[in-house]
């Protein structure tokens, strides 16, 4: 270990600046000194924003839960009327409306009434976003003790949540199941839009969507590529969901539904492209490596693999992938948010070549990668 000493010393030396900044005396000085005052204030405000992040998201949760955004979409209203409508004391409602205004979701008018601000209205315009905010009660409970979550202690709410929604309990509470399967379908449509914006399916004849869920992704492809053959492969218990999702869309006959597990069953053959949309991040490395090998085996030479899901920034951590999705998948229990580089490494290990760099118009929705089986 003696050989590591100079390195350790160099690392300690590199930390002097951070140790200086962490010194309360330096902080006092920097917030007064003209050249550092601006930076110190900006840092302070940003730190406070992180500190209070959980309160901000809970204010949004209350606005959604009380359906205030929807109510205000009808027009500006006074706190008193909204309080009576929601069954809250007026002073409490005012606190919520003021908070929503401070977050830029609502707007306080000169006459004292509150209306929707642009961002609040945009929340209503994103399919599935309100349902997503609502389902965060499970994730929020898991984040209540982040250290226990990191230590992997105890069962998490999110690990219980999805199996509950799609498992036996769904029969007992069909309304809950419907609401959350809608959430999956609606968010899948958003993901599909971004994938189709970045990856061309032109020249392909048959696409198999493995882990295709409700079929919303194939439904989006079907509209843009009317000659493409489409197959959805998913667990037998999910196939009825896909059938229901496609019912009435005119696509029932175009999309072949194929029940099976990629763990134990062969994947459908004959496709020149296989898509894995929000599938890999649900699983550990061993399962992913086995799945990629199976996809490789099912494709012809020149066949394409398209992977789309939220990704970690890897060497450049970023907020959506390395904060939200990293902890979401941790709370789910089985998977992880991987970087584009890590996914590419795993795909290369399975035999694929990567023709192009990752594409992501909205990394908080999804990033997409495309691979090819060599000729």
Ligand X SMILES: C[S@@+](CC[C@H](N)C(=O)[O-])C[C@H]1O[C@@H](n2cnc3c(N)ncnc32)[C@H](O)[C@@H]1O
- Residues interacting with ligand X, by CB under 6 A? 184, 188, 191, 211-213, 217, 234-235, 238, 261-263, 277-279, 282
Q: CB nearer to ligand X: give 94 or 366.
A: 366
Comparing CA positions, the residue from 365, 316, 373, 375 lying closest to residue 340 is 316
Whichever of 79 and 239 has its CB closer to ligand X, that residue is 239
283: DSSP letter = S
Write down the residue that tokens 């699983």 correspond to: 283
CB closer to ligand X out of 156 and 188: 188
| Residues contacting 23, CB < 8 A, separation 6+ | none
Closest CB to ligand X among 82 and 276?
A: 276
- Whichever of 211 and 313 has its CB closer to ligand X, that residue is 211
Rounded to a whole number of angstroms, the minimum distance from the CB of residue 158 to ligand X is 12
Determine the Cα–Cα distance for residues 177 and 179; give it in Å rounded to an integer. Answer: 6
Shortest reach from residue 331's CB to ligand X, in Å: 14
The answer to whether 217 and 231 have CB atoms below 8 angstroms apart is no
What minimum distance in Å lies between the beta carbon of 239 and ligand X?
A: 9
Shortest Å distance, C-beta 344 to ligand X: 20
- Name the minimum Å distance from CB 306 to ligand X: 11
**Rounded Cα–Cα distance for residues 222 and 255 (Å):** 9
Q: Which of 59, 210 has the CB closer to ligand X? A: 210
Longest C-alpha distance within the chain, in Å? 73
Q: How far is the CB of 26 from ligand X (least distance, A)?
A: 47
Whether 324 and 313 have beta carbons less than 8 Å apart is answered as no
Give the nearest distance from C-beta 109 to ligand X in angstroms.
40
Q: 138 or 191, CB closer to ligand X?
A: 191
| Residue 40 CB neighbour total at 10 angstroms | 18
For 302, list phi and psi in degrees, rounded to 5: 85, -5
Read out DSSP for 334-359?
Answer: S--PPBHHHHHHHHHHHT-B--S--E
- Name the strands in the sheet holding 359-362, side by side, starting at the edge strand that comes first in the sequence: 255-259, 229-234, 206-210, 273-277, 304-309, 366-372, 359-362
């Amino acid at each position: 270990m003696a050989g590591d000493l100079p390195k350790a010393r160099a690392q300690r030396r590199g930390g002097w600046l951070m140790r200086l900044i962490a010194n309360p005396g330096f902080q006092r000085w920097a917030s007064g000194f003209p050249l550092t005052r601006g930076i110190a204030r900006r840092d302070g405000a940003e730190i406070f924003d992180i500190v209070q992040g959980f309160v901000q998201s809970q204010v949004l949760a209350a606005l959604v839960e009380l359906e205030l955004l929807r109510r205000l979409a009808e027009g500006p209203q006074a706190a008193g009327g909204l309080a009576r409508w929601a069954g809250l004391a007026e002073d409490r409602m005012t606190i919520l409306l003021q908070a929503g205004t401070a977050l830029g979701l609502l707007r306080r008018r000169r006459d004292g009434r509150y209306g929707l601000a642009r961002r609040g209205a945009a929340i209503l315009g994103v399919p599935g976003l309100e349902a997503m905010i609502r389902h965060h009660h499970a994730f929020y409970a898991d984040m209540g003790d982040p250290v226990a979550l990191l230590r992997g202690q105890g069962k998490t709410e999110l690990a219980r949540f999805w199996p509950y929604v799609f498992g036996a309990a769904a029969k007992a509470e069909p309304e809950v199941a419907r609401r959350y399967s809608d959430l999956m379908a609606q968010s899948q449509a958003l993901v599909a839009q971004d994938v189709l914006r970045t990856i061309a399916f032109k020249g392909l004849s048959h696409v198999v969507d493995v882990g295709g869920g409700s079929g919303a992704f194939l439904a989006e492809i079907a509209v843009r590529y009317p000659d493409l053959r489409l197959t959805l492969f998913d667990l037998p218990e999910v196939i009825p969901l896909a059938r229901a999702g496609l019912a009435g869309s005119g696509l029932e006959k175009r999309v072949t539904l194929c029940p099976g597990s990629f763990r134990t069953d062969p994947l459908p053959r004959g496709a020149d492209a296989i898509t894995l949309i929000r599938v890999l991040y649900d699983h550990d490395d061993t399962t992913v490596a086995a799945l990629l090998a199976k996809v490789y085996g099912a494709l012809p030479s020149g066949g394409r693999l398209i992977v789309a899901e939220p990704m970690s920034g890897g060497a450049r951590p970023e907020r959506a992938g390395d904060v939200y999705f990293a902890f979401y998948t941790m709370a789910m229990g089985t998977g992880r948010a991987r970087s584009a580089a890590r996914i590419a490494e795993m795909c290369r290990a399975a035999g694929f070549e990567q023709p192009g760099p990752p594409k992501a118009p909205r990394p908080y929705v999804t990033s997409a990668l495309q691979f090819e089986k060599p000729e």
